[in-house]
Structure 1
Amino acid sequence: MLRAFERSDVPAILELWNRRWGNLFPLDEALWAQQTVGDPQHFRPDLARVAVEGQRIVGAVSMKTPPNPVTGGSWASQNPKNAWISFVLVEPGREADLGPKLLEYALEALRREGFEWVQYGGDPSHFFPGVPREDSSLAELLQGYGFEKRKTEGKDRLEQDLIRDLSDYQLPEEARAALQASGLAAFAQRNTRLETASCTRENVPGLLDFLAENFPGRWLYDTQERLKVELTPADILVLKGQGRIWGFCHLYHAGSRRIGPGIYWRKALGPGYGGLGPIGVSRDLRGRGLGFALLCYGVQRLKELGVQRMVIDWTTLADFYGKIGFKPWRSYLAYSRKL
């Protein structure tokens, strides 16, 4: 039987989640709360359902939708007709009978709400960028209901979380050299160089202006959400010069108030966990090695903060991050379909 989600269901859902995915994606109440009730602009508790047998929860499905209007607390480029299924969760071994019931309910509920497109994962305050590659039964379920994999140049688009142990990390000379050369490469004034620094409260307006100009979608939105809860913006590393912000990079560690995507699965990382991302530089300065420099200084900063193992989440740029030793850790495939 499917029934409406109740807040009192959370402990049982967490137990079910960790029976299903706990080895790879250990979920705790803090992350659950942040990604669900902590995102009231998108999370739809009225649409969420649990599958119950007797008093036992054996399945659950959760969805998110854009706010109405889209500009109200979200990002302007968000498609108002696009919805998300955050997860379809079933008791191990019950995929064949419970999975279809939950998915059919979700698709019909979103159709009734007037949505035209649905994506699995990748939602605001997501749990997963897509379907974990390890969960083949979930992928088969979605394919059986018309979901298709996103393609890039004719190939399945693979999103990855990358990991690195920082015990042997040293700041590459290439990163120092890129910043040293920035005065000559970027500006007419040769005595002006870019530098990396922790963001200050005084930098925040310039940071938000930079993001609105260069990354006006999700990255601006995620930064605004983070700034609402952190005591200080210092864990956002900025690239600055000439009184402007030219790049940014989010850093996460055990002291962060916001649980960033790189540290979602911190229980699988062990003590001394950390994460980095998103990261980006001004379109005017790309191709000069400054993004790489910002990355390297961000990793160095996390090491100085005591991080031992760190993750860069949700990327297709394994070769870029691999230049400083990051290797694949978790992988996802993006699935979506018309409603």
Structure 2
Amino acid sequence: MNSNYFVWIEIEANKRTITNAACFEQAMEKCRAAGIDAVILSVKDTTGFVIYESEIAPHYAEYDEAFEKKDYLKECLETAHRKGLKFYASIDVFAEGNKRKPHEKMPGILRKDWQTYVYGIDEAKKPVIQPVSEKAVINTIGSIDDFGEIFVNPANEEVCSYELSLLNEIMQKYTIDGIVLDRVRYVGLSSDFGPVTKKKWEQQFKDVCSWPEDIYRIKEEKGKLQIEYGNFFGEFLNFRAKTITDFVKRVRKLVDSQDRRLEFLDYTGSWYPLYYHVGANWASKDYDAREYPFVDIQEYKKTGYAEQLDGLLSGFYYPHVTEQEAEEARQPAFWYSVEGAARLAGHVTQNAVTVVGSLFLEQYRENLEDMTRAIRMCFEKSHGCMLFDLSYLVDNDWWSYVSVNEQKGFFLEPLQENDLTELIQLWSECFPEEFQVSAEHLHRCTFLDEQFCPEASLCIRSREGQRLLGAILCKKSESLGKGQNSNAWITALLIKPEFQNRGLGTHLYLAAQKVLSEKPVGRIYAGQDYHNIFSGIPAPDEKKTAFFRKMGFQVNTEEHYDLTADLFGNDKIDRFDTSSFQEKFYAEVLKMEEKQELYRFLQEEFPGIWAESMEEYLENGGSPCEIIVLKELQNRKIAGFCKVHGNCDQNGELGPIGIARAVRGNHAGEYLLHQSLLHLRNLQCNHIRIDWTILKDFYGIFGFQPYRAYRGAVKEL
């Protein structure tokens, strides 16, 4: 994951926004403006109904007349991606109905045998095991839900297969960025005690365990329910945790089987010392759960599933922001605070997974400044922030309290030429040695370039100290004619390393894109500009390419390179046999009177950037001595060209090289390359660089090796 600033969109609370395309688009605009870079849309909630076209689950329109029978997932996904936001689909896994507002098509009602069975005592103080949907009231131990939702049994194979089929359907049909699971757990310590679970349990403990008394007993003392642990209480906790982890592993396998990379996230509460109640062990498999003295620690740690996830959304659902505030409020433990919850989650997961702090916005209604502080704490102490839920932002207009600018103290402003000194310093921190440039070169390729777009070239600064934390430099072509949009290029996008993964890059890019889209621009390239510094995404890795994909770019699957070689003492050049070529071709420096012939050749063979750049070079006083042409002996016509450049410091460059279609296939390109390298050697150039090529093998004939790598990327607006 990247900047990891999420907002959750629950179905019922946001139905006015989800069902109105204009409202949803406006909400996404506000998310983007606030620096939120990802949305999580619940597509199946605890009712069991879905808001997309499913061949498996019933549609929400059958449950709530506010919805039409249409594909809201598709609509919302397209809008979010169009706005440059990542999009995740979420399902409530082991909840399939609602007891307060039941419907015959709820899977948990339709298949009563799927329901979880809860254990408690009735009004007569007698132990009872019954399906969760039963109307008879029983008192239970350790339940975090009030049984309004109809949970289903994670130990039931039919249930698991059903939930997996829904996930597979969603991943197969929609170009989502990932899936998010919620309620991958039991309803509480009271479940599951039904016949399916009992049968599986008895396969291990039939002859030695009395069900459920040897798990635990419930007794009432002084009007309060008390739990009396049985001999197999620890084994029961391990059994349930393994059941949940086995399901999570199946989801991991399903995600990995898709034909494209998807992220797999899970939401859990952060209160790990109490989480054994619901049977989900979201810890690392290397974590010793000493909070649970009733389990065999070595066996229980085998059920840790943090390593199965790409990200854990951990509920820091506390009004107190700091540990000190929780202590002053006499809370039971340090982790009853946002700061403490982050510390606990990081400790339990052992940094095996990216933990994103998650906030329940309603908790800050009485003190909205604490909402801003809590968000800042999530970014400082975890790897991001998730806001639950969008409805609070829309209904209460709390956007300013969650804005990336407000909550981190940053602001955007146009990048100026007098920022160059700071920009070079930032550049030195952001890029490896092979991508460093001089201030003069950066100035020439940006501010002095006629295509430089100052309106879309922005920087982001800290409010305190006005430090330069990031910048984006953009260029734009002139209009391509009536009805045609211009092209634009991101010359560079850089964020100070210690401020990366906080949404600043997203904020900068989206602000620049907004300016460019109003020009209008039809296409944006990552690098590849005239007089470029980068010919694509530099030093591409999964993190960088994922960022550009998140912004809506199509990223090339293969890399291209800058190459380098030394010419002095290069025996590969000296051993190259030219005898067969000299019967058909010869190479020489371009004569000034031949430039019109060269222009015609380039327009016929290489129209576009090569033809334009060569003509621009010569018409602006460039030396023809830096263009080597290949000619056919028979008619002395130009059949190829190569642009070279030599410096007085023994450095040189080899530019584009091209051969006429009619003579390709005869290795004429190798001959022209050889002659061009000899020309550079005669100019006393030794260290030669070649920019922007995929032809490693072709240039490798003469010893060239990659020293910089890139990945091309383009976005259609």
> Residue in 2 aligned with 1:108?
514
Q: Distance in 2 between matches of 1:301 and 1:56?
A: 48
Q: Report the CA distance between 1:323 and its aligned residue.
A: 1.7
Pairwise CA distance, 1:178 = 4.0
CA distance 1:179–1:34, shift in 2 (3 Å): farther
Counterpart position of 1:161: 562
Confirm whether residue 277 of structure 1 aligns to residue 655 of structure 2.
yes
Equivalent residue for 2:537?
131
Which runs of 5 or more residues in structure 2 are unaligned? Answer: 1-410
Q: Larger C-alpha radius of gyration, 1 or 2?
A: 2
Report the Cα distance in structure 2 between the residues aligned to 1:254 and 1:135, rounded to whole angstroms.
Answer: 33
8 Å Cα contact 2:488/2:521 also seen in 1: yes
Determine the C-alpha separation between the residues in 2 that align with 1:140 and 1:93.
Answer: 19
What is the Cα deviation at residue 55 of structure 1? 3.7
1:141 alignment partner in structure 2: 547
Whether 2:692 is the aligned partner of 1:318: answer no
| Residue aligning to 1:333 | 711
Determine whether 1:180 maps to 2:582: yes
Could you say which residue in structure 2 is the equivalent of 1:62? 473
State the 1:135 CA deviation: 5.8
Q: Deviations over 1:237-295 (max 9, x none)?
A: 1113434322111112225xxxxxxxxxxxxxxx5222112001111111112111000
Q: Secondary structure at the match of 1:279?
A: strand
1:210, distance to aligned residue in structure 2 (A): 1.2
Deviation digits for residues 39-98 of structure 1 (CA, Å, limit 9, x no counterpart): 31x221222111123343221111222212369xxxxxxx74532222111112222232
2:643 to 244, 250, 264: 250
The answer as to 2:592 corresponding to 1:213 is no
Partner letter of residue 653 of structure 2?
G
Q: Which amino acid aligns with 2:624?
A: P
SS of the residue corresponding to residue 96 of structure 1 reads: coil
Cα shift readout 1:184-221 (whole Å, capped 9, x = no counterpart)? xxxxxxxxxx3211122122222112111111111111
Q: Tell me the secondary structure at the aligned position of residue 533 of structure 2.
A: coil
AA of the residue aligned to 2:417? R
SS in structure 2 of the partner of residue 129 of structure 1 = coil
Aligned to 1:239: 630
Q: 1:57 to 1:229 in 2, by over 3 A?
A: farther
Retained in 2: the 8 A contact 1:18–1:26?
Answer: yes
Q: State the alpha-carbon separation in 1 of the partners of residues 457 and 628 from structure 2.
A: 37
- What TM-score does the superposition give when structure 2 sets the normalisation length? 0.40
Q: Report the aligned-residue RMSD.
A: 2.3
SS at match of 1:179: coil
Q: Secondary structure at the match of 1:12?
A: helix
- Alpha-carbon contact 1:248-1:279 (below 8 Å) kept: yes
- Residue 460 of structure 2: aligned partner: 51
Q: Is the 8 A contact 1:175 1:296 kept in 2?
A: no
Tell me, in whole angstroms, the C-alpha distance in 2 between the residues paired with 1:254 and 1:126.
19
Q: 1:16 matched to which residue of 2?
A: 426
Q: Answer yes or no: is the 8 Å Cα contact 1:200–1:232 preserved in 2.
A: no
Query: Partner letter of residue 276 of structure 1?
Result: L
Distance 1:172 1:25 in 2: 31
Q: Does 1:92 align with 2:493?
A: no
The yes-or-no answer on 1:200 pairing with 2:602 is: no
Question: Unpaired segments of 5 or more residues in structure 1?
Answer: 72-78, 151-155, 183-193, 256-270
Contact residue 200 and residue 233 of structure 1 kept, 8 A: yes
Q: Given residue 146 of structure 1, which amino acid in structure 2 is its aligned partner?
A: G
Match of 1:308 among 686, 694, 698: 686
Q: Aligned match of 2:673 in 288, 295, 303?
A: 295
Aligned residues: 300
Percent identity for Structure 1 against Structure 2: 29
Greater per-residue strand proportion: 1
